[in-house]
Amino acid sequence: MKRRKLKSFVIPTTIAVLIIGTFFTTAIITKNNSSLNDADENVDYVSETIIEDEVPVINTQMKVVNPYTDQSVTIGKYFYDYKAEADRQERAIIYHDNTYLQNSGMDFVATNVFDVVAVLDGTVTDVKEDETLGKIVELKHDNDYISIYQSLSEVSVKKGDTVTQGQVLGKSGTNELDKEMGNHLHFEFYVNGQVVDPSLYLNKELSDAKEGE
C-alpha cells in the first residue's frame, strides 16, 4: 500500500474546521446553561413544610351520657319493646286511668330529687308544663336526634338556649301519669322523628348505637 502525503493546505483547513466546530459547540452549551439558569430563577422552591401546625388526629366520636349524674338513680321502667322478654315488657307497662299503656321511654327513679342533665350538646326547642306529664324540656341535637325530659319539678333552661352535654336542665319530680313511681325522670329519645329505646344509645358512642333495634 502506498502512503499518501497530505497536501500542504489540508492540515490548516482541518484545524480551522475543528476550531470553528469547538467554538459553535461551546456557544450552544453556554446558551443552554444560560437558559437553565434563567428558568431556575423563575422557580419557587418550597423552603417550609406545607402544614405548619401539625395536630395529631384524635377520636372525635361523641358518647351519649345518662340524663343524670346521681349514682343512686336506678331504672324504674324500661322502654316497651315487643321483641323483649315477658318480664322486661311487664316493667315497660304504665297503668293510668284504668288503661294500660306501653312506655315510650325510660323512667329513672331515686329516693331524693336529682339533677337532670343533657345527654348531648343541643338547643332547647321547647319548655312547657303539662297537667299529666309535669314540666317538660325538649332538646334538638345534631343528626336529627331529639331528647325529651319529662316529670321535672324545676327547669333551669329556656327555649332557644344552647346547652352542652352534661349541663343541668332541671330537677326530677313527679307527675300524674307515673304517680306511683314517686320522684323520677321520664326520658325519651328520637332518631329521625321516630322514638327509639334509649338504652340502645345511652353510654354508647353514636357510631356504635343500634338504630332501629
CATH number reported for the structural domain that contains residue 83 in this entry? 2.70.70.10
Dist. CA 84–CA 70, nearest whole Å: 28
Sign of the alpha-carbon dihedral angle for 203, 206, 211, 213: negative
Kindly report the backbone phi and psi dihedral angles of residue 36, in degrees, each rounded to the nearest multiple of 5, phi listed first. Answer: -65, -40
Q: Is residue 133 part of a domain?
A: yes
Q: Using an 8 Å Cβ cutoff, are 196 and 204 in contact? A: no
- Which of the pair, 179 or 74, is modelled with greater confidence? 74
Tally of domains within the chain: 1
Q: Is residue 3 part of a domain?
A: no
Query: 50: pLDDT confidence band, cut at 50, 70 and 90?
Result: very low
Query: 34: pLDDT confidence band, cut at 50, 70 and 90?
Result: low
Q: For residue range 124-138, what is the model confidence (pLDDT) as tens digits?
A: 999 999 999 999 999
Q: Which amino acid is at 149?
A: Y
Domain span at 148:
74-208
pLDDT of residue 29: 47
Q: Is residue 56 part of a domain?
A: no
Cell numbers representing residue 163 in the block: 346547652
Cell 338504652 found at: 199
Q: Is residue 55 part of a domain?
A: no
Percentage of the chain lying above the pLDDT 70 cut:
69
Q: Is residue 25 part of a domain?
A: no
Q: Is residue 173 part of a domain?
A: yes
- Which of the pair, 34 or 140, is modelled with greater confidence? 140
Question: What is the rounded average pLDDT for all residues in the chain?
Answer: 80
Q: For residue range 151-209, what is the model confidence (pLDDT) as tens digits?
A: 999 999 999 999 999 999 999 999 999 888 999 999 999 999 999 999 999 999 887 76
H or E segment and range at residue 29: helix 10-41
Q: Is residue 7 part of a domain?
A: no
145-155 vs 162-163, strand pairing mode: unpaired
pLDDT of residue 166: 97
Q: Is residue 128 part of a domain?
A: yes
Mean pLDDT to the nearest integer, 92-115: 91
- Which of the pair, 50 or 209, is modelled with greater confidence? 209
Dist. CA 90–CA 94, nearest whole Å: 9
Dist. CA 129–CA 151, nearest whole Å: 9
